[in-house]
Every structure is written in structure tokens, then in C-alpha cells.
Structure 1
Amino acid sequence: MLDDSAEFERIAPKLYLTPNYLAAKVDHMVETIFLKYNIYKDEMEFSKNGQILFLKKQNGRKITFENLNQKYEVFKFEDKLAYFMVHNDGKNQLLSRQIVKFQKEKLAKTSYQVDKPADFKRQKDVFYLKFDNVIKEIFSSKKKFYDVFGNKAKSVKTNNLIIKNIEGLEKIIQHLNTI
């Protein structure tokens, strides 16, 4: 895709959640590991003997970045393992996927335009609900949103919470966990 050129060096940090390796706890290991989340590849990287390696994805693996106060967990989704950011604990969980897309270089078509170099662009996070052990995407349309809950939709609707922000979604999931 891209080589080790100066241009790639300029945009490479955009692949990651943070530019540096951060202290993280993996599962129930006592030892702290320094990891960096490569959002573009959906991989947790670590460096060993000057070589970049990837943490093995296992269903249910939990990673907690201590300084960021963020938790990630590996779930099977669409027939592959993927990292999800976990926003709450409990039977039902609010999850999100962070996405980075590669944008190809665009050459100017006229002299009035300028060339746009290749770049990695962070996309809007996609939210999911882990409900009855099934992961479903959360839509911003109220009708599609409440359809996810099936027979518990009526109980969730009575809260009158805003579904377009993370605080409202977290409150809905907390309420759902008490039912």
C-alpha cells in the first residue's frame, strides 16, 4: 500500500489510537505490557527485541489501558475476531468500534485545484449493543434503535433518554441491566 517513505512516516501515527506504547493489562496477567492499538489493522502491537509483534486475538481477551481508562475486548463479530471498546460492565454492554480508513492520493484535475496526498482518516465510531450475547449495531433512528431490544423495547422507551450521545446510551444499558 505505502512504503517507508517520508510521506508514510508523516501519516503513520494516524493508524493508531495513541502515538506511543502505553501500559496495559491483558486478561488477568499480573505483568504490565506496553501496547499500541493499530486501529487501521484492528491489532494490538507490542515491541520485542526491536521487532513489532501483534498480540494474539482470542475471543474474550480483555485489554485495559491504565492511563486512558479504556477497556477493549475481543468478540467474534461477522465471523471474525475484532476489538471493541467496552463502555460498561454487565450482562448487556455498550460497545464501539474505532475506524480508520485509507484515503488514496487525489491528483488535481485542473490548475485551480491542489493535489491531496494519501492519508489515514479517523471515521466516526460505530456503536454496538451486546444484548442477549448477540452484538447488534446501534442506529441513530429511534425506530431501528428500539427494534434491537425486541420485547424489552417498551421498558427502554419509557426512560426518554437521548440515543444520539454516549451518556444516553450508557444510561439505557444500565437500565437494561437492572431489568
Structure 2
Amino acid sequence: MKKILLILLGCSVYIVDAQVGNENVSYSPGTFFMRANRPTTKEYVIEGSPYTTGDKFNKVIIKGFSKDVQDLRYNAYEDEMEFKKDDELFYTNKEDNVKIQFPDIGKIYESLTYTYDGKTKSGYLVLLVDSPKFSLYKREKVELLKGEKSTNSFTKDANDYYAKDKDLYLITKDKKFFKFPKNSADAAEVFSVDKKELDSFVKFNKINFSKEPDMIKLVEFVNK
């Protein structure tokens, strides 16, 4: 499997190839850092970036793992953690409840198998609030969109490109996942709290149900 990140004229483009491997490259109590299979993909140029942690690999802290683990980055398009070994690119294997802390960028990702909207998915969520009562997660997503064909012979066709999709915010209640409430009435029902008390908190703190810092503040309030 070959390196997929190239920099061309200041724009990020990606050329993807594949390889199968099974060599353990770092100590862990499971198989998290076993070299995982990569999907075989036809080589072609894609503009933009699928990474929400930045294109470079970052130091991480994983509880129960060796301190000297591989640097990682999160590929939101593939919903995979990537690491590099000997200039080859691999995915980590998903292991439930593994929390990956990125100290330099202030993010914690948790690998989970979860059910939302009637569908069960195994993937990574950003952990925003960790609590036995209500936890708050963010699902990051990047889409691959088709480039447009040129309408004349003087311009080139546009390449396919990565585009950041809207983040999905989820809360856990009794081990079930729900979309973050859109207003005070929904929040009072989901969090099973007194609506008048919640309305007072929302009004006093000017809570915006679509802003992440306010979402965190609200969940921390109902957890008290």
C-alpha cells in the first residue's frame, strides 16, 4: 500500500492504493494496531481532505496501551483511524470502547458499536461529555462529491472532491443514542427534567441548541 497524500500546487490531492497485512506493529492488549486490510481503490485524483484531525499524524494517548503507540489521524470519509508504518498507510482495527485522546488538538474519539435511527453502526464518535447519566457525542462526516464536467473545450473537468458534511450530535440515554434535542420542550422530555427549571437555565445562559459549546453546557447542567 502506497502513501496517499500528495501536495500539488498548494492543493491537497489523494492517490489511494491498497495492501493486506497482519503484522503487529505496537503493543496493545488487543488487536487495535494490527495492520488492517485496506479497500482496493482505483487510483484517481481527489481534491480537498478527508481528515478532521488535520492531514498530519498526531500523537495520541490510549488508556491501557503502550505510551509509544503510532501517531494517528482520523479519516472522516472512511470513518477510520490511520497510521503509517515504513511509509505504508494502514487502518487500525476497531475495538469497542477504546478512547483515543489527541492532546494537541483537544479531541477524544471513542470507538463504538451503536444504534441510531434504527441502524447499527461501528465507528468513531467525538466524545464531548462523558457521564454515567447522559453523554454527548459528535459524529463527524466527510462526503466525496463528483466534480463537474467542463462545458467547453477551453476548461478542464473538475476533479472529485471531499466536502465536510454537517456534524451530527448524539446523546446517550439508557445506552441508546438520540439526536440532540432542538429546543427546550424536546430537551425536557429527553433528559426527563422539569421544563420550568430547564427553561430558566436556557434563558439565563442564552443557550443556542445548534452551537456545540451550548450543547455541552446544557448536558453538563442536566447531569448535575
TM-score band by shorter chain is: 0.7 to 0.9
Bigger drift between 48-57 and 83-92 goes to 48-57
CA drift at 1:126: 1.2
- Higher helix fraction (1 or 2): 1
Secondary structure of the residue aligned to 1:84 is: strand
TM-score normalized by structure 2? Answer: 0.67
Cα deviation 1:70-97 (Å, max 9, x = unaligned): 1010122232211000112222211101
Matched, 1:24 2:66: no
> How many residues align structurally?
172
Change (3 A) 1:82 1:63: same
- 1:171 counterpart SS class: helix
1:137 aligns with 2:179: yes
Q: Which moved more, 1:16-25 or 1:115-124?
A: 115-124
> Would you say the 8 A contact 1:24–1:32 is kept in 2?
no
Distance 1:142 1:110 in 2: 53
Task: Report the counterpart of residue 76 of structure 2 in structure 1.
Answer: 39
SS at match of 2:49: helix
Aligned partner of 1:172 in structure 2 is 218
Distance of 1:134 and 1:124 partners within structure 2: 22
Change (3 A) 1:156 1:60: farther
**In the alignment, which residue of structure 1 is the partner of 2:43?**
4
Structure 2 Cα separation of the partners of residues 39 and 152 of structure 1: 34
Residue equivalent to 1:69: 106
SS in 1 for 2:201: coil
SS at structure 2 position matched to 1:64: strand
Q: Report % sequence identity.
A: 20
Q: Contact between 2:58 and 2:72, CA under 8 Å: does it hold in 1?
A: yes
Q: Compute the TM-score of the two structures, normalised by the length of structure 1.
A: 0.82
Corresponding residue of 2:121:
80
Indicate yes or no: 2:88 matched with 1:51.
yes
Structure 1 segment 150-169 matched on structure 2, within 5 A = 151-152=192-193, 154=195, 155-160=197-202, 161-169=207-215
CA distance in 1, matches of 2:97, 2:112: 6
Corresponding residue SS for 2:166: coil
Q: 1:119 to 1:142 in 2, by over 3 A?
A: farther
* CA shift for structure 1 position 59: 1.4
How far apart are residue 115 of structure 1 and its match?
4.5
Q: Which has the larger radius of gyration?
A: 2
Q: Report the CA distance between 1:140 and its aligned residue.
A: 3.5
Bigger drift between 113-122 and 50-59 goes to 113-122
Structure 2: unaligned runs, 5 residues or longer? 1-39
